[in-house]
Structure 1
Amino acid sequence: MATKIRLEDRECPLSTTLGIVGEWWTVLILHDCFDGYSRFDEFRANIGLSSSMLTSRLKTLVEGGILERRRYQENPVRHEYVLTELGRSLRPVLVVMAAWRNAQLAPDERSMILVDEQTRREVEPVVVDADTGERVDGAGFVYTAGPAAGPETRERYGDSDGRAART
């Protein structure tokens, strides 16, 4: 996790999100969770991460409210790590990240694809506006300062009138 964040990034949702889940190992742990894995030994075997590093990453995810640590065995005491509602809400982010990479590869170079579970048809995820259904990856959608924005963010993104400072 990044320990030093620029002043203007402290309120940036991208920076704060990456502070919690932005490390490569953390994304792999989350990927395992979405595949149904929940135990320390499973993560270690699948990812190949050292015990101390894995412990650190799991602790960060628990502290961030992404995973919940639950006891599943008494003697010896063992815990599993289960996605919280907040953690489950990260699935679309990982799906889109994988799709972004797959879009750069020829179909026969893709090692993992997203399919409709019933039809087994490959699908292409897109991010859309919930109200209109329009894709939000085009030039017609821009960031602007929100209600909690500080001076640096307002300078960069404009005021809350919806006009960006730069295009």
Structure 2
Amino acid sequence: MIRVPKASETRQRIIDAVLRIIGQDGIAGVTNRRIATEAAISLGSVTYHFETQHELLRESLLHFVAEETRRLAELADQCQAQVIDLDGAAAMVAQVAGGTEFDSRHIAPFELYIQAGRDERLRAAATDCFDAYDQLAAQILTGLGVPDAERLARTCVALVFGQQLRRLATGSPAEELVDALLVLLPGLHGD
């Protein structure tokens, strides 16, 4: 007997498929037929669960934000419970940056953020995610003893995203991101 997935499981499979497709081929690659193939569901299931492309993209961004926010909150809690040195901060940034290789899971968020720039209905979700990044950065900076950590957190997040985008575009190694932060952090700390 063939098992038919529950509605919530099917929605999740669709969202996961959308994020993989966006990471591989960008938002232009997202078609109902491709989603159905990628998620191993019927074509009708896509439109049953998501009436419009906007709804599909929005739900995918919200899912990414929820997962990323949860992950960042856990890391922020770890930072709050301990004093962090520069090596620990570098390790944390490397963990947030997602390792040494870009794959579709790392590329899709950039596509979704760009889409949020085009579609103001997606901006609240993107804002939530950046707020979580800012909170984590503030916790790390506070753990390092950096004065005015809350104010500097957004700048550090912007640096990380800029380095990540550079890494994505040029194929530069992840170590460049960590090196950039290690150069910046002692100046913030006053060392």
TM-score range, shorter chain: under 0.3
Larger RCO (CA under 8 A, 6+ residues apart): 2
Which is richer in helix?
Answer: 2
